[in-house]
Structure 1
Amino acid sequence: MITQIVKFDIKLDKVEAFKAALIADKLGAKSENGCLELRLFQDKKQPNIIFAYERFNNNEALTHHASQPYTAVVFDLLKTSAQAALIIMKLNDTTPSPLHENNPKQPHKEDDVFIIFFIFKIKAGYREKILNQFGTHVKSTRAEEAGNIIFDLYTVEGQEDTFAVYEHWRTESDVWDIHFNQPYAVETGKLMNEAVVGELEQYMNFVTEF
């Protein structure tokens, strides 16, 4: 399976038209056997920042998707809408949550789902420590926290210093009031403060699905 995060930086006056093209692309992808999941998100604080989270069966399925007319519309629109280069992060070395429709942890009607993309860079010498600590962190979060729906850690292909955490929570308070007070999260926090380049906050994108 191929998993990737695509990050778009769009001119503010072009955002709504670009979102409409992405939604059409997502709807078209539903008819593709090789497209397993395609979800779209907009940053709450920076509405010009848009993410696509994509999972495909294989490279052939990804190539097939890229060749479709609805995908061509997105790339054509990028030529006049983007204010920074497109970023495609191919993800690996992970045990991802089940596909959305197969995930036994589904949102409840009363949930105000809180979603985070945390894509961060680390200093040299910390890669194995981060992987080891998150091994415990991911397993414990999924198994022990009722407020968690998705918690995935990914490495980024071709970037040894970059990791991506993809999270869905039932409410925002499940993150700040519960998750970060867990013993494994406290230990992860200590390590992250040592390992991450710069301030942690700069890497956090709080997003809304559309």
Structure 2
Amino acid sequence: MTKQSDLTWRLTDKVVSKIPFGPNKKRSDMISKLVATAKKHVSTAAVCLCAAASTIADQANAQENTMIRFIAKFDVKPSERENFVAALRNVRDGTAREEGALGWDMYVNTDDPNQFWVDERYRDDTAVEFHQSQPYIVALADLSAQALSGPPAGYLLDLPIHSAGQQKAATAQDEPMMLFFIVPMADGTRQQIIDRLDTHVPLTRQEVGNLMFDAFTLKSDPNTVLVHEIWRTPAALWDEHFSQGYAQETGALLSELTGRDLSSLMYVVKSLE
């Protein structure tokens, strides 16, 4: 490999690695600056390669940014649990056949067998409209009127804080634990909480025991953040993560700003087959 071609590949890697995957960053400005730098140091071919890498990254990010993700929580009357679970399974099976559906996963709270969570992902608005018109959704809505013990909670996800991450693979020795963490933000605390999570997220992802850690602002409620976490084992969260200095700092700040016991905002769930 020549000195110039080596520089080409290193610069291409720099372009891809420096462009933040998240709609909350000024990606186009950063791309322009990096390609301008390329023009000063390498050949036209290298600049084209860098621009191509940027375009690929933009296309992938654009597809990610058009995805619609919605998380819902249902509290069900004990007497209606069996009927509600059957309805959820019908929705899951029907949604799997929808072309525009990217995923529809359902969970049950490990501490409350009558609380259910659904994580829905769709390609675009058209896919959502199609999904909502299907008979199994109408049936679920009809059943909910009598089966729920209270109003459902819905969370329409907006921008990821720090950018969405990639889930690590679990091993045969792992006992994965998933949870949703709902953080309310009072007036005047929003930016402080988001800034702290922007620091917290990448540090958590570096932990060996963490499989996934994503935090999102919400389109449905700008004063709430939803955190979705997966850990290799319960101990990886309760013992290892919470012993980290940065995690303790985040916990203390969130407790102070929300005025809440953070454990009351955490919902540990498991897959519902």
Determine if the TM-score, normalized by the shorter chain, exceeds 0.5: yes
What whole-Å deviation, never above 9, does each CA across 1:64-86 have from its counterpart, x for those lacking one?
Answer: 11111222221121122111112
What whole-Å deviation, never above 9, does each CA across 1:43-74 have from its counterpart, x for those lacking one?
Answer: 12222211101111111111111111222221
Alignment of 1:139-158 (within 5 A): 139-142=202-205, 144-158=206-220
Local SS of the residue matching 1:47: strand
**Aligned partner of 1:168 among 230, 234, 258:** 230
Residue equivalent to 2:201: 138
Task: List alignment gaps of at least 5 residues for structure 2.
Answer: 1-66
Offset at 1:117? 1.0
**Aligned partner of 1:26 among 80, 89, 92:** 92
**Aligned partner of 2:269 among 200, 207, 210:** 207
- Give the number of the structure whose alpha-carbon radius of gyration is greater: 2
Q: Relative to structure 2, which stretch is displaced further, 169-178 or 186-195?
A: 186-195
**Aligned partner of 2:164 among 70, 75, 96:** 96
**Normalized against structure 1, the TM-score is what?**
0.90
Local SS of the residue matching 2:200: helix
Question: Post-superposition, which runs of at least 4 consecutive aligned residues in structure 1 deviate over 4 A?
Answer: none
Is 1:5–1:51's contact at 8 Å kept on the other side of the alignment? yes
Local SS of the residue matching 1:125: coil
Give the structure with the larger helix fraction. 2
Q: Relative to structure 2, which stretch is displaced further, 172-181 or 194-203?
A: 194-203
Sequence identity (%): 34
Distance 1:26 1:97 in 2: 25
Offset at 1:182? 2.1
Distance 2:225 2:154 in 1: 13
Is 1:122–1:197's contact at 8 Å kept on the other side of the alignment? no
Residue equivalent to 1:86: 152
Distance 1:145 1:20 in 2: 38
Distance 1:50 1:134 in 2: 26
Distance 1:158 1:56 in 2: 16
Local SS of the residue matching 1:48: strand
**Normalized against structure 2, the TM-score is what?**
0.70
Alignment of 1:61-140 (within 5 A): 61-94=127-160, 95-98=163-166, 103=167, 105-140=168-203
Task: List alignment gaps of at least 5 residues for structure 1.
Answer: none
